Amino acid sequence: MEKAVVLFLRVSIQLLALPIYLLSFLGMWEPFCKKIFFPFLLEKLTASYNRRASGHKQELFGNLQEFAGPAGELTLLEIGTGTGANFQFYPPGCKITCTDTNLNFQRGLSKSMAQNQHLQFQRFLVAPGEDLNQVADSSMDAVVCTLVLCSVQSIEGVLKEVLRVLRPGGAFYFLEHVAADPSSWTYFWQQVFYPTWKLVFDGCCLTREPWKNLEQAKFSEIKLRHIQVPLYWAPVQSHIVGYAIK
């Protein structure tokens, strides 16, 4: 019965979003989404998300400086930088390499860089998290990835690259929305919204379980918690947060 209800509601939402599905069928939605819609939407949503998740981010990044190199300098790689939503939480003097697959975030990213002059921005790389070949082995003290694993092609591939570029003893920081408890109403709505959400939000998957990938990766230590972020306007309240040490 539940599966039938999910299917009925899923089709209903797809009918409401029919213009987007038609644009997608014609090959017009993806370029419009990547170039205009999603960058605009992400910039607007970032401020709202940071207000609700700021406590978690402050706690998460509070010990970043502890992973600095022998000279006290912290070299950090951020995967899927977007509009720079995490910059304000990084320690002063942090040397950052930014990566993303979408150059259309540049307006919001440039604004965030100008507002966070306590940081040292090294370079911006157009690269997916699964292929960071422009970054040398064992060259980073820390790697950060927030709200990105939901849309990558391969979580395993990303974690493999993270381990490669981290120096021994370096840390991978993460904050990701994940699949809710299967017995919850949130999970029910995740199932309902899944196809349309993924189309509208540039490949974002609502029901991934990246904590399983992290547990299977070859980190020496993982500190991970399941939390709820009060995003009542969307089925993405369930998150994991923490860091893993190489």
SS3 content of the chain, % helix, strand, coil (to 5): 45, 20, 35
The predicted pLDDT at position 239 comes to 97
Degrees to nearest 5, angle at CA 57 with 42 and 175: 65
pLDDT along the chain (246 residues), means of 10: 88 94 95 91 88 94 93 94 95 96 88 94 94 96 97 97 97 98 94 96 95 96 96 90 98
The predicted pLDDT at position 231 comes to 87
Choose which CATH entry (3.90.930.12, 3.40.50.720, 1.20.200.10, 3.40.50.150) describes domain 2-245: 3.40.50.150
Residue 157 belongs to what H/E stretch? helix 155-165
The predicted pLDDT at position 143 comes to 98
The predicted pLDDT at position 81 comes to 95
